[in-house]
């Protein structure tokens, strides 16, 4: 009686054994055993089961429940709606991360430009007779040279990315 009622109510709600197991906080095999009559839920699980199935405990334990026709389209559309909400949340999270990275990139570029403008190039007064000093000086010069030429393009690209990823309110 109980096993048949659990199965009928689960199917009427459009739930799989796995989905019901998640709601009741048990494994799928436990639901299967209950539906096959191989075991019965204890009182706490019976209450959780009745809440998950939106049926009183007396209905679970009482007379046989006639399995109503499941509105498969409605159940399917509800599951799709949940999936769409999850995807929308993921997209919003990704968009926030991208915007944060673009803002950080713009800030770093501005800070490095400010440092390069305020601090004179230290390598200009170095003695390049020493090979190590020559390598470090050349490295500083290459960094400045590349940064001054590429950073404006990256900065403009980041600003365009921020503009394109803005929220349409």
Cα-based distances in Å from 110 to 5, 104, 115, 148: 68, 10, 9, 11
- Residue 69 pLDDT grade (very low, low, confident, very high; cuts 50, 70, 90): low
pLDDT in the model for residue 37: 87
Residue 169 clears pLDDT 50, i.e. is over it: no
- Residues in CB range of 10: below 8 A, 6 or more apart: 17, 20, 31, 35, 53
Of residues 99 and 73, more confidently modeled: 99
pTM: 0.48
State pLDDT tens for residues 18-47.
999 998 999 999 999 988 988 888 888 888
Contact 141, 123 (CB under 8 A): yes
pLDDT at 70 over 80: no
Q: Give the domain ranges of the chain.
A: 2-61, 72-164
CATH number, span 2-61: 1.10.260.40
The pLDDT tens digits of the residues spanning 105-135 come to 999 999 998 988 898 877 778 888 888 888 9
């Amino acid at each position: 009686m109980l096993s048949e009622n659990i199965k009928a109510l689960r199917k009427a709600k459009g739930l799989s054994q796995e989905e019901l197991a998640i709601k009741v906080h048990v494994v799928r095999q436990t639901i299967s055993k209950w539906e096959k009559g191989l075991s019965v839920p204890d009182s706490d699980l019976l209450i959780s089961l009745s809440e998950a199935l939106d049926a009183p405990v007396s209905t679970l334990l009482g007379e046989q429940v006639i399995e109503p026709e499941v509105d498969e389209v409605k159940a399917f559309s509800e599951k799709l709606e949940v999936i769409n909400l999850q995807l929308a949340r993921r997209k919003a999270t990704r968009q926030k991360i991208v915007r944060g990275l673009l803002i950080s990139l713009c800030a770093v570029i501005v800070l490095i430009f400010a440092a390069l403008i305020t601090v004179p190039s230290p390598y200009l007064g170095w003695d390049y007779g020493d090979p190590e000093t020559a390598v470090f000086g050349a490295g500083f010069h290459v960094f400045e040279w590349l940064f001054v030429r590429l950073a404006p393009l990256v900065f403009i690209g980041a600003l365009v990315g921020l503009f394109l990823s803005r929220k349409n309110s």
